[in-house]
Structure 1
Amino acid sequence: MDKREDNVLEMTNEEYRIELEKIFDSIDDNRILRYFYIFVSEKLKRVL
């Protein structure tokens, strides 16, 4: 991680991927994963 001007720690893309993988590897409930996928997909539609 590096430190940006505004004192907010920011991870690299690879660090984000690793952290997300850790989070989602522990989730066995498909409903939760599906909900999150839909949520993120909708949010991305608004910004992309």
Structure 2
Amino acid sequence: MKNDLNIVLIEIHTELNRQHKKIAFLQSIALKRFAVPAYTSICPKPYFPDPKN
């Protein structure tokens, strides 16, 4: 009985590791696809008045 429980726990642990790796991979893809360069969020664009006015 104890041996069966250990086998089930090992299978659960293995599956959790697999899921964790899959999530990490998908997060890395999302970051590459949707990330904005860090400087754009902290540095506002300078305002240049229109020289025609």
Aligning the two structures, in what range does the TM-score lie when normalised by the shorter sequence? 0.3 to 0.5
Q: Which has the higher helix share?
A: 2
More RCO (CA 8 Å, sep 6+) = 1
Report which of the two has the higher share of strand: 1
Query: Scaled by the length of structure 1, what TM-score is found?
Result: 0.41
TM-score (norm: length of structure 2): 0.37
